[in-house]
Structure 1
Amino acid sequence: MSPAHVLEPTYASIKQKLLDGAWPPGSRLESVRIADLVGVSMTPVRDSLNRLVGERLVDLRPGFGFHVPRLCTFDLRELLELNLVLVRLAMKRMGHAEQTEIPSGSVDLALRSRAVFSYIAAAARNEALTDAIESLNDRLHPFRRIEAEVLRDAKQEVADLEAMLINSPSRQTAVAMRRYHQRRISAAPRLVAMLQQAHPTRS
């Protein structure tokens, strides 16, 4: 196992690159090339990739190595359905969050969406629930990066959710949250196709 002072930044760097779409779905993650890219030896890279396998952000295929997951329409729909179940549960448990606003501070849709769900999870004050929602935040992040190209009012939809949550969640918020997820479940085939066709930003 790599020492923490090497492993943690290596893990964080690789994870961020995955979330940013540095490698396309299905592509092989070669430890040697990533080690050169990050500027470390192969050991912390392999340790990091194994950790990301546990988080389901990387696939490990015996005999074929590490790969970026290639989600199909069914997979994406399942993730969205699970996210809705967990978020609805969290909203029922929400207390008066200490924050007076959702700490997004970003015009990036994926980051703003993450902030909305992180806010709900934190306000539920249940560590296991928070961990599950944050894991889904990571796995859904690549699709949130492109969803505005499929759902043209996606940014306004997230802004409306922010406003509802800040002004105290209500039945209207629950209805809006269900609509948010149902629209993306319906758009899943287009989101998956667009992600497969997207040209990733390499660094």
Structure 2
Amino acid sequence: MSPAHVVEPTYEAIKRRLMTGVWPAGARLESARLADALGVSVTPVRDSLYRLTGEHMVDFTHGEGFHVHRLTETELRDLLELNLILLLAALATRRGGIVDRASPAAEETDRIGALFLGVASRSGNAELAAAIASLNDRLHLTRRLDRHLFADAEAEGAAIEAALFEAGPPAIARNLILRYHERRAQEAASYVRMLAERRADR
């Protein structure tokens, strides 16, 4: 295995490219080419790709190598359902208010992810927070498509943020988060189609 000071930046660089849609779903990820592009040896690239396979962001098949994970409608709905279940659990057990408001300059998708991670962190359950962080990574690319599917995506995020930040009645935040996930589950087919068409912003 490669030293951490080499593999961690390599892993983060590849992961960021996956999260921002640099490669289309199903694209072959060739270790040698990635190594050349990143200025590292093949070993940390392979280590990173195996790690990302374990995180379900890359697929590996013996004899065929590594490929960008191809998200299905069923998988997206399952991810959204799990995210919702974990967030509702975190809301029910959170301690104190939510984290500080996200910076206005932050990318909207990162703002939503930061809010959800903040809710999980306030639960005091480190495993729950880690699970939400992992789901944030896997849902990041679909969240980049939100504004193409929902004209009110920015306002929706602001409403969720306000409900969490102002620490109002828990039912308000819970209902907003429930609606957020339901709307996206209903559009699962559209997300998958748009990903296949490589319409994700970069």
Report the TM-score range of the alignment, normalised by the length of the smaller protein. over 0.9
Does the CA contact (< 8 Å) of 2:97 and 2:165 recur in 1? no
- Asked whether 1:102 is paired with 2:120, we answer no
Report the TM-score, using the length of structure 2 for normalisation: 0.94
* 1:59 aligned counterpart, secondary structure: strand
User: How far does residue 98 in structure 1 lie from its aligned partner after superposition?
Assistant: 7.2
In structure 1, the partner of 2:71 is 71
Does the CA contact (< 8 Å) of 1:90 and 1:124 recur in 2? yes
What are the Cα deviations for residues 141-192 of structure 1, in whole angstroms up to 9, with x where unaligned? 0100111101111111011100110001511111111111000000111111
In structure 2, the partner of 1:14 is 14
Q: Cα distance 1:106–1:115, how it changes in 2: closer, same or farther (>3 A)?
A: farther
Does the CA contact (< 8 Å) of 1:22 and 1:200 recur in 2? no
* 1:36 aligned counterpart, secondary structure: helix
In structure 1, the partner of 2:41 is 41
In structure 1, the partner of 2:149 is 150
How many positions carry a matched residue from both structures?
Answer: 201
- Give the Cα–Cα distance (whole angstroms) in 1 for the partners of residues 102 and 132 of structure 2: 17
- Give the Cα–Cα distance (whole angstroms) in 2 for the partners of residues 13 and 114 of structure 1: 19
What are the Cα deviations for residues 112-150 of structure 1, in whole angstroms up to 9, with x where unaligned? 111111111111110110111111101100100111101
Does the CA contact (< 8 Å) of 2:87 and 2:120 recur in 1? yes
Does the CA contact (< 8 Å) of 1:93 and 1:124 recur in 2? yes
Q: CA RMSD in A?
A: 1.6
- Give the Cα–Cα distance (whole angstroms) in 2 for the partners of residues 164 and 138 of structure 1: 24
* Runs of 4+ residues over 6 Å off in structure 1: none
User: How far does residue 56 in structure 1 lie from its aligned partner after superposition?
Assistant: 1.2
- Asked whether 1:167 is paired with 2:169, we answer no
Does the CA contact (< 8 Å) of 1:104 and 1:115 recur in 2? no
Identity, in percent, stands at 46
* 1:67 aligned counterpart, secondary structure: strand
* 1:66 aligned counterpart, secondary structure: strand
What are the Cα deviations for residues 42-75 of structure 1, in whole angstroms up to 9, with x where unaligned? 0000001111111111111121111111111111
* 2:60 aligned counterpart, secondary structure: strand
- Give the Cα–Cα distance (whole angstroms) in 1 for the partners of residues 118 and 32 of structure 2: 38
Does the CA contact (< 8 Å) of 1:24 and 1:200 recur in 2? no
- Give the Cα–Cα distance (whole angstroms) in 2 for the partners of residues 77 and 128 of structure 1: 22
Report the TM-score, using the length of structure 1 for normalisation: 0.94
In structure 2, the partner of 1:83 is 83
Structure 2 unaligned regions, length at least 5: none
- Give the Cα–Cα distance (whole angstroms) in 1 for the partners of residues 101 and 41 of structure 2: 39
Paired AA for residue 177 in structure 2: M
In structure 1, the partner of 2:182 is 182
In structure 2, the partner of 1:27 is 27
User: How far does residue 105 in structure 1 lie from its aligned partner after superposition?
Assistant: 4.3
- Give the Cα–Cα distance (whole angstroms) in 2 for the partners of residues 54 and 46 of structure 1: 12
